[in-house]
Structure 1
Amino acid sequence: MNIDVIDETGALGEQELLAFEELLTYCAKQMNVPSESEMSLSFVDDEAIQSLNATYRQKNVPTDVLSFAMQETLPEDTYEAQIDEPMLLGDVVVSLDTAKRQAEEYGHSLERELSFLTVHGLLHLLGYDHMNEADEREMFKLQEALLSGYGIERTGES
Protein backbone atom coordinates (compact mmCIF):
# COMPACT_ATOMS: atom_id res chain seq x y z
CA MET A 1 0.00 0.00 0.00
CA ASN A 2 1.25 3.47 -0.83
CA ILE A 3 1.04 5.58 2.33
CA ASP A 4 2.19 9.17 2.60
CA VAL A 5 2.92 10.05 6.23
CA ILE A 6 3.35 13.76 6.87
CA ASP A 7 4.21 15.50 10.13
CA GLU A 8 3.19 19.13 9.79
CA THR A 9 4.14 19.75 13.43
CA GLY A 10 7.79 18.77 13.05
CA ALA A 11 7.57 16.99 16.41
CA LEU A 12 7.82 13.37 15.25
CA GLY A 13 11.00 11.70 14.11
CA GLU A 14 11.57 9.73 10.94
CA GLN A 15 11.45 6.41 12.83
CA GLU A 16 8.11 7.33 14.41
CA LEU A 17 6.63 8.21 11.03
CA LEU A 18 7.92 4.94 9.58
CA ALA A 19 6.31 3.06 12.48
CA PHE A 20 2.89 4.53 11.60
CA GLU A 21 3.37 3.57 7.96
CA GLU A 22 4.18 0.02 9.06
CA LEU A 23 1.13 -0.06 11.35
CA LEU A 24 -1.15 1.04 8.50
CA THR A 25 0.42 -1.50 6.15
CA TYR A 26 -0.19 -4.26 8.70
CA CYS A 27 -3.81 -3.18 9.22
CA ALA A 28 -4.45 -2.93 5.48
CA LYS A 29 -3.17 -6.48 4.98
CA GLN A 30 -5.37 -7.74 7.81
CA MET A 31 -8.36 -6.00 6.20
CA ASN A 32 -7.55 -7.42 2.73
CA VAL A 33 -7.01 -3.98 1.22
CA PRO A 34 -5.21 -4.30 -2.13
CA SER A 35 -1.52 -3.44 -1.99
CA GLU A 36 -2.06 -0.91 -4.82
CA SER A 37 -4.23 1.26 -2.55
CA GLU A 38 -3.20 4.77 -1.59
CA MET A 39 -3.82 6.96 1.45
CA SER A 40 -2.24 9.72 3.47
CA LEU A 41 -1.76 10.23 7.20
CA SER A 42 -1.02 13.74 8.45
CA PHE A 43 -0.11 14.86 11.94
CA VAL A 44 -1.14 18.44 12.63
CA ASP A 45 -1.66 20.76 15.60
CA ASP A 46 -4.98 21.72 17.18
CA GLU A 47 -5.21 24.94 15.17
CA ALA A 48 -4.99 23.09 11.85
CA ILE A 49 -7.45 20.35 12.79
CA GLN A 50 -9.88 22.92 14.21
CA SER A 51 -9.84 24.72 10.88
CA LEU A 52 -10.55 21.47 9.02
CA ASN A 53 -13.26 20.51 11.50
CA ALA A 54 -14.94 23.92 11.07
CA THR A 55 -14.73 23.77 7.29
CA TYR A 56 -15.88 20.18 6.74
CA ARG A 57 -18.00 19.38 9.79
CA GLN A 58 -19.14 22.87 10.86
CA LYS A 59 -17.67 22.23 14.33
CA ASN A 60 -15.30 25.04 15.25
CA VAL A 61 -13.36 23.05 17.87
CA PRO A 62 -10.25 20.87 17.73
CA THR A 63 -10.82 17.13 17.46
CA ASP A 64 -8.51 14.13 17.65
CA VAL A 65 -8.86 12.60 14.19
CA LEU A 66 -10.61 13.37 10.91
CA SER A 67 -10.99 11.02 7.96
CA PHE A 68 -11.68 12.12 4.43
CA ALA A 69 -12.74 9.03 2.50
CA MET A 70 -12.54 9.06 -1.27
CA GLN A 71 -15.38 6.52 -1.46
CA GLU A 72 -18.68 6.55 0.43
CA THR A 73 -18.49 2.84 1.21
CA LEU A 74 -15.96 0.17 0.42
CA PRO A 75 -17.47 -3.29 0.71
CA GLU A 76 -14.92 -6.08 0.42
CA ASP A 77 -16.07 -7.05 -3.08
CA THR A 78 -15.11 -3.51 -4.19
CA TYR A 79 -11.50 -4.25 -3.26
CA GLU A 80 -11.31 -7.10 -5.74
CA ALA A 81 -13.16 -5.19 -8.46
CA GLN A 82 -10.52 -2.44 -8.38
CA ILE A 83 -7.47 -4.71 -8.25
CA ASP A 84 -6.14 -3.45 -11.62
CA GLU A 85 -6.05 0.21 -10.58
CA PRO A 86 -4.94 2.00 -7.45
CA MET A 87 -7.73 2.50 -4.96
CA LEU A 88 -7.59 5.97 -3.46
CA LEU A 89 -8.75 5.43 0.11
CA GLY A 90 -8.43 9.03 1.30
CA ASP A 91 -6.75 11.05 4.01
CA VAL A 92 -6.49 10.73 7.78
CA VAL A 93 -5.57 13.79 9.84
CA VAL A 94 -4.54 13.42 13.51
CA SER A 95 -4.06 16.25 15.99
CA LEU A 96 -0.83 15.68 17.89
CA ASP A 97 -1.91 18.24 20.52
CA THR A 98 -5.20 16.50 21.24
CA ALA A 99 -3.54 13.06 21.18
CA LYS A 100 -1.07 14.21 23.85
CA ARG A 101 -3.89 15.40 26.10
CA GLN A 102 -5.89 12.21 25.57
CA ALA A 103 -2.91 9.94 26.22
CA GLU A 104 -2.39 11.68 29.56
CA GLU A 105 -6.10 11.56 30.37
CA TYR A 106 -6.37 7.84 29.54
CA GLY A 107 -3.08 6.98 31.25
CA HIS A 108 -1.28 5.44 28.32
CA SER A 109 1.58 6.34 26.01
CA LEU A 110 1.43 8.88 23.21
CA GLU A 111 2.44 6.09 20.82
CA ARG A 112 -0.61 4.08 21.86
CA GLU A 113 -2.96 7.05 21.45
CA LEU A 114 -1.55 8.01 18.04
CA SER A 115 -1.76 4.37 16.93
CA PHE A 116 -5.36 4.14 18.11
CA LEU A 117 -6.32 7.31 16.25
CA THR A 118 -4.44 6.20 13.11
CA VAL A 119 -6.24 2.85 12.98
CA HIS A 120 -9.55 4.56 13.80
CA GLY A 121 -9.04 6.88 10.84
CA LEU A 122 -8.15 4.00 8.51
CA LEU A 123 -11.30 2.11 9.49
CA HIS A 124 -13.37 5.19 8.64
CA LEU A 125 -11.71 5.24 5.20
CA LEU A 126 -12.76 1.60 4.82
CA GLY A 127 -16.40 2.42 5.53
CA TYR A 128 -16.65 1.70 9.25
CA ASP A 129 -18.50 4.14 11.46
CA HIS A 130 -19.83 4.51 14.98
CA MET A 131 -23.09 6.36 14.50
CA ASN A 132 -24.99 3.81 16.60
CA GLU A 133 -24.07 1.55 19.50
CA ALA A 134 -23.83 -1.69 17.50
CA ASP A 135 -21.58 -0.13 14.84
CA GLU A 136 -19.44 1.48 17.55
CA ARG A 137 -18.94 -1.88 19.31
CA GLU A 138 -17.98 -3.53 16.02
CA MET A 139 -15.56 -0.77 15.02
CA PHE A 140 -13.86 -0.47 18.41
CA LYS A 141 -13.55 -4.26 18.75
CA LEU A 142 -11.87 -4.40 15.33
CA GLN A 143 -9.59 -1.49 16.26
CA GLU A 144 -8.45 -3.21 19.43
CA ALA A 145 -7.91 -6.50 17.59
CA LEU A 146 -5.75 -4.79 14.95
CA LEU A 147 -3.71 -2.90 17.54
CA SER A 148 -3.27 -5.98 19.70
CA GLY A 149 -2.32 -8.10 16.68
CA TYR A 150 0.33 -5.56 15.83
CA GLY A 151 1.62 -5.62 19.41
CA ILE A 152 0.19 -2.37 20.72
CA GLU A 153 -1.67 -3.13 23.92
CA ARG A 154 -4.23 -0.95 25.66
CA THR A 155 -1.73 0.01 28.38
CA GLY A 156 0.44 1.66 25.73
CA GLU A 157 3.25 -0.83 26.13
CA SER A 158 4.41 -2.48 22.94
Structure 2
Amino acid sequence: MISYFIEDVSFKFKGKLSCSSWIKEIINNLDFNKSGLKTGDINIIFCSDDYLLKLNNQYLKHNHYTDVITFDSSDNKRINGDIFISVDSVKNNSNEFKCEFIDELHRVIIHGVLHLLGFNDSNEEQRVQMRDREDVALKMRRS
Protein backbone atom coordinates (compact mmCIF):
# COMPACT_ATOMS: atom_id res chain seq x y z
CA MET A 1 0.00 0.00 0.00
CA ILE A 2 1.25 3.45 -0.86
CA SER A 3 0.24 6.18 1.58
CA TYR A 4 0.79 9.93 1.56
CA PHE A 5 1.32 12.21 4.55
CA ILE A 6 2.00 15.90 5.17
CA GLU A 7 4.41 17.07 7.90
CA ASP A 8 5.28 20.67 8.78
CA VAL A 9 4.24 22.16 5.43
CA SER A 10 1.10 23.48 3.78
CA PHE A 11 0.70 21.26 0.72
CA LYS A 12 -2.04 19.33 -1.03
CA PHE A 13 -1.00 16.48 -3.31
CA LYS A 14 -3.50 15.81 -6.08
CA GLY A 15 -3.28 12.69 -8.19
CA LYS A 16 -2.47 10.20 -5.44
CA LEU A 17 -4.25 7.37 -7.23
CA SER A 18 -2.45 7.84 -10.55
CA CYS A 19 0.89 8.36 -8.80
CA SER A 20 0.41 5.18 -6.77
CA SER A 21 -0.44 3.21 -9.93
CA TRP A 22 2.66 4.57 -11.64
CA ILE A 23 4.88 3.66 -8.66
CA LYS A 24 3.46 0.12 -8.62
CA GLU A 25 4.09 -0.16 -12.36
CA ILE A 26 7.74 0.76 -11.80
CA ILE A 27 8.09 -1.69 -8.91
CA ASN A 28 6.51 -4.49 -10.97
CA ASN A 29 8.83 -3.81 -13.92
CA LEU A 30 11.76 -6.26 -13.87
CA ASP A 31 14.00 -3.70 -15.60
CA PHE A 32 13.81 -1.74 -12.34
CA ASN A 33 13.16 -4.52 -9.85
CA LYS A 34 15.59 -7.36 -10.55
CA SER A 35 14.69 -9.14 -7.30
CA GLY A 36 11.00 -9.37 -8.17
CA LEU A 37 9.88 -8.09 -4.76
CA LYS A 38 6.27 -6.92 -4.49
CA THR A 39 4.97 -3.55 -3.33
CA GLY A 40 4.63 -3.49 0.43
CA ASP A 41 4.03 -0.45 2.61
CA ILE A 42 5.52 2.72 1.15
CA ASN A 43 4.92 6.00 2.93
CA ILE A 44 5.57 9.22 1.07
CA ILE A 45 5.85 12.12 3.49
CA PHE A 46 5.82 15.67 2.17
CA CYS A 47 7.58 18.09 4.49
CA SER A 48 9.52 21.37 4.74
CA ASP A 49 13.23 21.97 4.19
CA ASP A 50 13.76 22.40 7.93
CA TYR A 51 11.93 19.18 8.79
CA LEU A 52 14.05 17.22 6.31
CA LEU A 53 17.24 18.93 7.50
CA LYS A 54 16.53 17.67 11.02
CA LEU A 55 16.11 14.12 9.72
CA ASN A 56 19.27 14.47 7.65
CA ASN A 57 21.20 15.58 10.76
CA GLN A 58 19.67 13.02 13.10
CA TYR A 59 19.84 9.88 10.97
CA LEU A 60 22.50 10.49 8.33
CA LYS A 61 24.73 12.96 10.20
CA HIS A 62 24.58 15.34 7.20
CA ASN A 63 24.23 19.05 7.89
CA HIS A 64 22.78 20.19 4.58
CA TYR A 65 19.43 20.55 2.87
CA THR A 66 18.28 17.88 0.45
CA ASP A 67 15.15 17.18 -1.57
CA VAL A 68 14.58 13.55 -0.57
CA ILE A 69 15.62 11.03 2.07
CA THR A 70 14.62 7.38 1.83
CA PHE A 71 14.48 4.96 4.75
CA ASP A 72 14.37 1.39 3.47
CA SER A 73 12.61 -1.20 5.62
CA SER A 74 12.10 -3.82 2.91
CA ASP A 75 12.11 -7.49 3.79
CA ASN A 76 12.79 -10.50 1.57
CA LYS A 77 9.27 -10.42 0.08
CA ARG A 78 8.12 -6.82 -0.08
CA ILE A 79 9.45 -3.35 -0.77
CA ASN A 80 8.73 -1.18 2.27
CA GLY A 81 10.00 2.22 3.29
CA ASP A 82 9.48 5.87 4.07
CA ILE A 83 10.28 8.54 1.49
CA PHE A 84 10.55 12.05 2.94
CA ILE A 85 10.32 14.83 0.35
CA SER A 86 10.96 18.52 0.93
CA VAL A 87 8.29 20.44 -0.95
CA ASP A 88 10.45 23.57 -0.53
CA SER A 89 13.40 21.94 -2.30
CA VAL A 90 11.19 20.53 -5.05
CA LYS A 91 9.85 24.06 -5.70
CA ASN A 92 13.40 25.44 -5.80
CA ASN A 93 14.54 22.61 -8.10
CA SER A 94 11.66 23.19 -10.51
CA ASN A 95 12.59 26.87 -10.75
CA GLU A 96 16.30 26.14 -11.14
CA PHE A 97 15.79 23.44 -13.79
CA LYS A 98 12.95 25.35 -15.47
CA CYS A 99 10.48 22.50 -15.30
CA GLU A 100 6.96 22.06 -14.01
CA PHE A 101 6.62 21.53 -10.26
CA ILE A 102 4.68 18.26 -10.75
CA ASP A 103 7.39 16.87 -13.05
CA GLU A 104 10.09 17.62 -10.50
CA LEU A 105 7.93 16.21 -7.71
CA HIS A 106 7.45 12.98 -9.65
CA ARG A 107 11.20 12.81 -10.33
CA VAL A 108 11.95 13.12 -6.63
CA ILE A 109 9.27 10.57 -5.71
CA ILE A 110 10.64 8.02 -8.16
CA HIS A 111 14.19 8.78 -6.98
CA GLY A 112 13.11 7.61 -3.53
CA VAL A 113 11.42 4.53 -4.99
CA LEU A 114 14.58 3.68 -6.93
CA HIS A 115 16.52 3.75 -3.66
CA LEU A 116 14.01 1.24 -2.28
CA LEU A 117 14.68 -0.90 -5.37
CA GLY A 118 18.41 -0.92 -4.59
CA PHE A 119 19.71 1.87 -6.81
CA ASN A 120 22.34 4.14 -5.27
CA ASP A 121 23.80 7.53 -6.13
CA SER A 122 27.00 7.64 -4.07
CA ASN A 123 29.33 8.24 -7.00
CA GLU A 124 29.15 9.80 -10.46
CA GLU A 125 28.57 6.52 -12.29
CA GLN A 126 25.69 5.64 -9.96
CA ARG A 127 24.24 9.15 -10.28
CA VAL A 128 24.21 8.82 -14.08
CA GLN A 129 22.49 5.43 -13.84
CA MET A 130 19.99 6.83 -11.32
CA ARG A 131 19.18 9.79 -13.59
CA ASP A 132 18.72 7.43 -16.56
CA ARG A 133 16.31 5.27 -14.52
CA GLU A 134 14.42 8.38 -13.41
CA ASP A 135 14.06 9.49 -17.04
CA VAL A 136 12.77 6.07 -18.13
CA ALA A 137 10.30 6.02 -15.23
CA LEU A 138 9.05 9.53 -16.00
CA LYS A 139 8.38 8.51 -19.61
CA MET A 140 6.37 5.53 -18.37
CA ARG A 141 4.24 7.93 -16.34
CA ARG A 142 3.09 9.67 -19.48
CA SER A 143 2.10 6.57 -21.41
Give the TM-score taking structure 2 as reference length: 0.84
Which of 58, 62, 65 lines up with 1:59 in the alignment? 62
| Aligned mates of 2:18, 2:58 — CA distance in 1 | 30
Q: How far apart are residue 56 of structure 1 and its match?
A: 1.1
Which of 138, 151, 156 lines up with 2:129 in the alignment? 138
Give the percent of matched residue pairs that are identical in Structure 1 and Structure 2.
Answer: 24
Amino acid at match of 2:53: Q
| Aligned mates of 1:108, 1:36 — CA distance in 2 | 29
**Contact between 1:89 and 1:126, CA under 8 Å: does it hold in 2?**
no
**Contact between 1:37 and 1:88, CA under 8 Å: does it hold in 2?**
yes
**Contact between 1:5 and 1:21, CA under 8 Å: does it hold in 2?**
no
Q: Does 1:22 align with 2:25?
A: no
Give the TM-score taking structure 1 as reference length: 0.77
| Aligned mates of 2:18, 2:6 — CA distance in 1 | 13
Q: Does 1:97 align with 2:100?
A: no
| Aligned mates of 1:36, 1:46 — CA distance in 2 | 28
Alignment of 1:110-125 (within 5 A): 110-125=101-116
Q: Unpaired segments of 5 or more residues in structure 2?
A: none
Q: How far apart are residue 113 of structure 1 and its match?
A: 0.7
Partner-residue secondary structure (3-state), 1:37: strand
Q: Unpaired segments of 5 or more residues in structure 1?
A: 153-158
Q: How far apart are residue 26 of structure 1 and its match?
A: 2.4
| Aligned mates of 1:36, 1:130 — CA distance in 2 | 22
Amino acid at match of 1:47: D
Q: How far apart are residue 111 of structure 1 and its match?
A: 0.2
Amino acid at match of 2:85: V
Number of matched pairs: 138
| Aligned mates of 1:58, 1:105 — CA distance in 2 | 26
